[in-house]
Amino acid sequence: MKMSMRPSALKEKIIYYIYEIYKLGSPSNKRLIIVEKDVAEEAECPAPKVKTVIESLRTDGILSEVVVGYVPGKTVPAGHAVFITPSPSPDCPEPGYKIVVNQKKLEKIGSLISSKFISDATTDVVEFNSQDGVVRYGVYTHKFHRNGKDDDRLHFFRNLWEERKHLRKGKEIHKGESFPPEKYAIGLNFANSVKDFTQDKRAQRKLFGLLKGINRNLRDKKIPAHIERENGIQLTITE
């Protein structure tokens, strides 16, 4: 069955939501975890209608697979780990879906719908190319160079990007997670253990120096992203 040229307003909202989450993942990632209540809130519809639309997107060929069940409490690009269970569990408490997108179809219709929705919002979004080390926000860019301290900054920022909190027009589109500073210090080989980091003032200065330097770079380049230190370390993007 072919999709009509003019999908309903509700279907457009849900396609747009899926498309935006899909773009947060890597280019090769086709799998997403979708929390039903997140979609319902974004599309401003009752939760039962979400399932109907999701199933119709599989019929239309935009989604090639839909698994209904219970998922973790955040909507994310699933990457290599796909958590979904047939019944609620402590790790998967929320009704939701594991979906596999048809990338060609989603990108084609998603870009068309995006142009409509974005016309009422900002056209600039924060993007990060981890291969090139470039953070981009509209015409503003910052590049991490592959030498000396910038190598550490790039490594640090890549890890932060994976667990970023992303807010757009006041709505959380990517929750991410904050972690204690020692996790990043150990990953950067500034310390060998939590105890080492808590006792090593030099390691602490190195890590927090990187953090301050990245925040300064982002601020100077007018990129709306900031590394927070309250209750752990996390990159927060506010568009």
Q: What CATH number has the domain spanning 126-238?
A: 1.10.10
Contact by Cβ (8 Å): 64, 101: yes
Length of the chain: 239
pLDDT at residue 6 above 50?
no
pLDDT digits (tens, 9 = 90+) for 94-138: 999 999 999 899 988 887 776 666 555 445 688 898 888 899 887
Domain parsing of the chain, residue ranges: 9-118, 126-238
pLDDT at residue 183 above 50?
yes
Residue 81 vs residue 111, higher pLDDT = 111
Amino acid 54: pLDDT: 94
Mean pLDDT of 23-45: 82
**How far is residue 31's CA from residue 22's CA, in Å, rounded to a whole number?**
8
Equal fold, 9-118 vs 126-238: yes
Cα angle value 212/213/214 (rounded, 5°): 95
Question: Which pTM does this prediction carry?
Answer: 0.51
Q: DSSP for 196-237, please give it.
A: HHHH-HHHHHHHHHHHHHHHHHHHHTT--EEEE-TTSBEEEE
Torsion (CA) 135, 147, 212, 125 in degrees, nearest 10: 0
CATH architecture of 9-118: Orthogonal Bundle (1.10)
Amino acid 3: pLDDT: 40
